[in-house]
Chain A
Amino acid sequence: MAVLKACRGIGLPVAQAQEVAAAVAASPSALNELLAHLAKPISSASFDFSSGVDVRNACLLRDFSVCADAVSQGALPAILRGVATCDVTQALAQYHGVSAVMRNGDLHVAPHQYPAQKPERCKVDPVGWQRLAAYAALTYVPETDASRLAGAGAGLTDND
């Protein structure tokens, strides 16, 4: 949930935020590198569908799913130009059931099968977690007296 909110906090659309959250939950080693991606501004990508899909100026967290979709439809090659492989790309690849390998400085996404994996509990770096929480907090609305009184139900005391 923290990853989901952090992704939403930087402006990622909710579906893509859900996918990133699910990917990182299954591959928690990607958490630290995720922070670097969260810090990047979200670019406006361009797409060439003439042969598979070729994505320029990609935002990894938003646009990986486009390549995964293309691969699922046999639309190859699926390329994210100028995107480097990292734990996050591998987490997303595993989530989507594709492979992501570097070729000539670009990330190529292709079909792949992974063994079924059961998410496990993991230890997180407290500093990294705090940074993630700061991004998630971008989705919280600051408290005001009005919202405290009227934004939710129940009284401020309930002694009945």
Chain B
Amino acid sequence: MKDAVFSQAELRHPDYVMRLSRMGAMFPSRLSFLRSLTRQLIADKSLVSRVHWDMDSEGFGTAVYTLTLGGHPYSLFAITQPLDAAMRTDRVIAEAWDAAFVLYDGVPDTFEIARLSLNAPLQEAGRFTSKDLCLSRANKSVRLFDQIVTALKRGSELPMGMIQDIGYLMRTTAVYGNGKFGIADRREIEGRPGLQGPFMAEMLTVWLIRSFTHDLVEHVAGGALPDHVKRQLGIGNSTGLGMAPFLVSHPLLLHSWMVCRETALARVRAAAVDVDVATQLLILSRRAAQHLLEWNIPDPLHQARIVKLRAEWAALTLGLTVDSLIAQGALDELIAGSESGGQDLQELTVSWMLEPFGDLVDGLTECMANPYEPVLDAAMSCAVLGDILVGYCGYATAVDFTVPHASEQFWYVSEAKLEPRIGKRHCEPGADRESPLDITRQVHGLAQDLPGHSGPVWQFLAQFPQHRLAVQRVQSLAGNPYSEIRDNLVDGDMAPIDMLRCKLSFFGASKFDPKSQLWTRITLAQGAPLASDLAAGKAWDDWWLPVSAP
């Protein structure tokens, strides 16, 4: 095995990186989980077989797709049923969906297909086994699905503008894994080749669902979509508050993701740029520009951000040539140049720069899984804990929580189907049942009560048991500096959408389409290789920022 020691620049400071507004400006990159998955599928030469198809002419029925990854067979079970328009909602409180899916460990036989047919449509109300790895459901993009069916039936032109704008035939409204609702725990599969990375089973589910949606629309229409059109159809997703708490409740995992990304950037900044890399950067800069032009969304606030980014990107990349990019320090100059623009520009620049450096950065994806949780260091003295609070937690101790605005919001779980929600503390009921996502406020409270106490932390905690979590988190922060969001998650101006975008960018999502500060639609796997590309040996890991086909 060849050892590799890479030069690297300094990592960007967590005070700079771990701010909600910056996290809410992140873009997908080659470190994203879907990219890792497709690289694995390509390396494995995985082939997808459709082993079961029982659909009526309207596209209602069941299907099973099977592939082998890392030597293990996996199958996507899909079932579609008629859905009244009045019942079609993307929210957690939905009771029915256009389609339901299970990622199955192996190949389901007739008995298992019958079991899945009964339970998958019930989703959380169903009964699942350890053979069921992921559970998902999706609704049609009604407009696009119907228009494509109509065009294919008539043999008329496909609605390419709509295909480009929407980018998916169905959007998932949840993709559950890791033991949720009785499905298999992640520990059952985390050691398997191909599934070791974060959310790999979920990404595989999504990628296979995409194939299903292509087959479904072709079946209903009785016609075939060209491959270049299929590549532009990813899988949509509607992401709401349910995803936000994850980043708070998995701090060490978050640290792993962020430190790998920052390390990747640091390596790239120190790397030499040769002609090939420079050429790729130029091509990708133009692709990014085209992507930004094709990315249009209804929300005026977020559309304004995209418009601003188009101009800033054009200014940053104006006049770039191969020669200018291979010059010493060129990448650092571009990073510095991006600082004169907004955070969207800065984070787009980061993702862009990583693209041609697969040899330098792809190995970091093996460090992105992290099963650990913060553990209390009971021996630490109150004095040392106090030093850590001073050195690392200024973002929390500086907040004035006596001002109502600083704690205006509260996170909670509704009785209604356990839907995560956010409320206004000072004018809505329920704050007494607040979900403990107010880490910054908890750290602040610790900082208020700690002074004057000496001796080991465990004795302090005997008298202040409510600070145990905060102590664990603060202690962890010293060794895992990217583990905490350095903003106040109950502040009146806090926008959950920033947390969603951060996590979704790690998934590989693009075309963020925020509908409010609480939820967004996104597209996954748009531009990704198709199953037929894998079969033909024509699948490439080159689909960062999807653009319309020429």
Contacts and interface: CB of A to CB of B under 8 A. Distances in A.
Interface stretch (B38-46, B57-65, B360-368, B425-433): B425-433
Contacts of A147: 414, 421, 423, 428, 430
Contacts of A55: 462
A115 interface: no
Interface in A85-142: 118-119, 121, 137-142
A47 B433 contact: no
Contacts of B26: none
Interface string B412-449: 11111011111100001110010110000000000000
Contacts of B422: 151-152
B89 A154 contact: yes
A95 to B, nearest CB: 12
B469 A141 contact: no
A159 B430 contact: no
Contacts of A15: 376, 468-469, 472
A146 B427 CA distance: 11
A66 B90 CA distance: 45
Contacts of B433: 138-141
A92 B321 CA distance: 64
A32 interface: no
Contact of B142 (A137, A154, A160): A160
Contacts of B435: 139
B403 interface: no
A13 B469 contact: yes
Nearest to B457: A69
A42 to B, nearest CB: 10
Contacts of B519: 152-154
Task: From B143, B379, B459, name the one whose CB has the most chain A CB atoms within 10 angstroms.
Answer: B459
Nearest to A143: B416
B92 interface: yes
Given A8-B436, A155-B89, A62 B456 contact: no
A65 interface: yes
B238 interface: yes
Contacts of B428: 144, 146-147
B458 A70 contact: yes
A154 B88 contact: no
Contact of A13 (B173, B420, B468, B518): B468
Contacts of A73: 378-379, 456, 458
A158 B91 CA distance: 9
Interface in B374-407: 376, 378-379
Interface in B461-482: 461-463, 465-466, 468-469, 472
A17 to B, nearest CB: 9
Interface in B244-301: none
Contacts of A13: 465-466, 468-469
Given A13-B468, A155-B90, A158-B88, A141 B412 contact: yes
Contact of B240 (A119, A138, A154): A154
A153 B516 contact: yes
Contact of A153 (B414, B469, B515): B515
B241 interface: yes
Interface residues of A, number: 44
Given A140-B414, A141-B414, A158-B90, A151 B472 contact: no
Nearest to A71: B378
Given A14-B469, A66-B461, A152-B241, A157 B88 contact: yes
Given A140-B413, A143-B414, A151-B421, A159 B465 contact: no
A158 to B, nearest CB: 5
A53 interface: yes
Contacts of B240: 152-154
Nearest to A156: B89
A148 interface: yes
Contacts of B429: 141-142, 144
A155 B298 CA distance: 15
Contacts of A152: 91-92, 240-241, 414, 419-422, 518-519
B515 A154 contact: yes
A143 B415 contact: yes
A70 B462 CA distance: 10
Interface in A22-79: 45, 47, 49, 53, 55, 62-63, 65-66, 69-70, 72-73, 75
B86 interface: yes
A15 B88 CA distance: 38
B135 to A, nearest CB: 15
B340 interface: no
Nearest to A118: B187
Contacts of B173: 154
Contacts of B139: 158
B147 interface: no
Contacts of B87: 157
A144 B414 CA distance: 9
A137 B378 CA distance: 32
B123 to A, nearest CB: 16
B141 interface: yes
A157 B463 CA distance: 50
Nearest to B466: A13
B8 interface: no
Given A69-B376, A157-B85, A140 B420 contact: no
Contacts of A18: 469
Task: From A53, A157, A158, A160, name the one whose CB has the most chain B CB atoms within 10 angstroms.
Answer: A158
A47 B88 contact: no
Nearest to B185: A119
Contacts of A49: 455, 459, 462
Contacts of B415: 137, 140-143
A47 B89 contact: no
24 contacts: A8-B436, A14-B436, A15-B376, A16-B468, A47-B463, A55-B462, A70-B378, A139-B435, A141-B415, A141-B421, A141-B429, A141-B433, A147-B430, A152-B419, A152-B420, A152-B422, A153-B91, A153-B518, A154-B89, A154-B91, A155-B89, A155-B90, A156-B91, A158-B90
Interface of B: 85-93, 130, 139, 141-143, 173, 185, 187, 238, 240-241, 376, 378-379, 412-416, 418-423, 428-430, 433, 435-436, 455-456, 458-459, 461-463, 465-466, 468-469, 472, 515-516, 518-520
Chain A to chain B: the 3 pairs with minimum beta-carbon distance, closest first: A153-B519, A151-B421, A141-B430
